[in-house]
Amino acid sequence: MRLKGKNVLVVGLGRSGLAAVRFLLDRGARVAVTDQRREEEFGDWQREFDGEELEVHLGGHEPEIFDKRDLICLSPGVPLDLPGLKLAKRRKIPIIGEMGLGAEFLEAPFVAVTGTNGKSTTSTLIYQMLVAAGQKVALGGNIGTPLLDLILTGDRYERLVLEVSSYQLETVKEFRPEVAVLLNVTEDHLDRYESFQDYVRAKTRILKDQTGRDAVVYNAEDSHIAPYACRANAKRIPFALHRQPSEGLFYSHGRIVRRWKKEFEDYPLARTKLTGLHNVENMMASVGAARSVGVSPDQVQKVLELFEGLPHRMQLVGEYRGVRYYDDSKGTNVDSVCKSIAGFEDRQVILIAGGRDKGGSYRPLRDFVSKKVVRLLLIGEASAKIARELQGCTEIQEVGTLEAAVREAAQKVKRGQVVLLSPACASFDQFRSYAERGEKFREFVRKYAEAV
């Protein structure tokens, strides 16, 4: 794709949007930017582009800004129904996302990981396995460094590992991962998609351009994605928790077993630090991907045992007087919370949940809450909806803020129980991100748990 002299509009100035601006300017494009935030809501981001000719439109996406462009580059999360985008489509102006633009210029083969839950953990595990094998590799996409920034460095990698969201997959043109990893698809982002099936189709877009020389590692027990994977052109590598595929990966007696042609390997999990069956799935997917690109069994096992997990994903942030406090702020959808609760087989839970609603139902939580949760403390905009849908499952209290929830939990929790922040909601009603919410949780735990 030739960019020099092209008139390109970048929509959205988050990490991906700024990466697109840097890349486009470097390639000689004439760049305009638009963001719905006003100038006072930004930092001094323009200082980076001092001396560059940059057309800036802040405070909204006026439709006329989109007209008469050669290309429009979207940041993930920008609504696809913007009037300006509809105008651009009528004018037949090409529209592509930052990830899609990067794929046009990518020379190294790449592993792409998607799914509703577990993307970051799985991507990081695969990356660390490739590093352990001595490969020159980078981790980016939806985690870490935007793809265009990786390309802009000029470094030559043997392979990339990319975490890919449904938003990014919506706006790719040609996207062919050497290995595609499909972890799961559960209800999420229904505030953006017209139907759950639209969300499934966005996720499974990762398979469309693969050939028989590529591979797809997929959850054979996920009825939403398995049919797509079975029709894929790529070599299929299934994994399963509860059954044993004739070829692929499965879980048996505390071990991950890989059965492939005449190979038979097992990976004991007794010394691994990740907990919960959902992380067994993440580890199986990682093993399948890493082995398919030349990582040895010994190198895989070493990483499985050393990996300590990522922040805000079932992270133990403190233990006070026999009570453990877990930060699962990344648990932003119902399926993730179900799996987090289920991981506490021998402990009762005080659950802190709520935030900005994402459009799905909370009713799948009923069985898990009824069995394990002794008190449910609700925060944020979705409190009333969650309370209504989970009425009768346990004692429910709408407390408003995260600080009030931690204070209440610290006062009422009993020795041997767990206090778990796993919101099932986005953070944007009270926090800038799930990470900020998790850091505040840790701060409030220190403040109130130590004082009791």
Instruction: Supply the residues annotated as catalytic.
Output: 119, 142, 189
Angle between helices 277-292 and 297-306 (to 10 degrees): 150
- The rounded distance, in Å, linking the Cα atoms of 87 and 40 is 28
Q: Residue 432 gets which letter from DSSP?
A: S
Whole-angstrom CA distances from 357 to 30, 86, 174, 352, 427 are 39, 27, 33, 15, 9
Angle between helices 277-292 and 334-342 (to 10 degrees): 110
Residue 266 CA from chain centroid, whole number: 28
Of 189, 251, 247, 174, the closest CA to residue 215 belongs to 247
Cα gap 69→44, rounded to integer Å:
26
Taking Cα atoms as reference points, which of 177, 166, 255, 230 lies closest to residue 202?
A: 166
Closest Cα partner for 287 from 257, 242, 253, 246? 257
Instruction: Please report where in the chains the tokens 């577990």 appear, as a residue.
Output: 118
Instruction: State how far the Cα of 207 lies from the Cα of 189, in Å rounded to an integer.
Output: 21
Helix then strand then coil, in percent of the chain rounded to 5, is 35, 25, 40
Dihedral sign for Cα 79, 80, 84, 85, please: positive
What order of strands is seen across the sheet that includes strand 349-354?
315-320, 323-327, 418-421, 349-354, 373-379, 395-400
Phi, psi angles (nearest 5°) of residue 202? -65, -45
Stretch (H or E) spanning 381? none
Please say whether the dihedral angle defined by the alpha carbons of residues 334, 336, 342 and 344, taken in this order, is positive or negative: negative
CA distance 283 to 373: 27
| Residue for token pair 């299934």 | 238
- Residue 134, strand partner residues: none
DSSP tag of 452: -
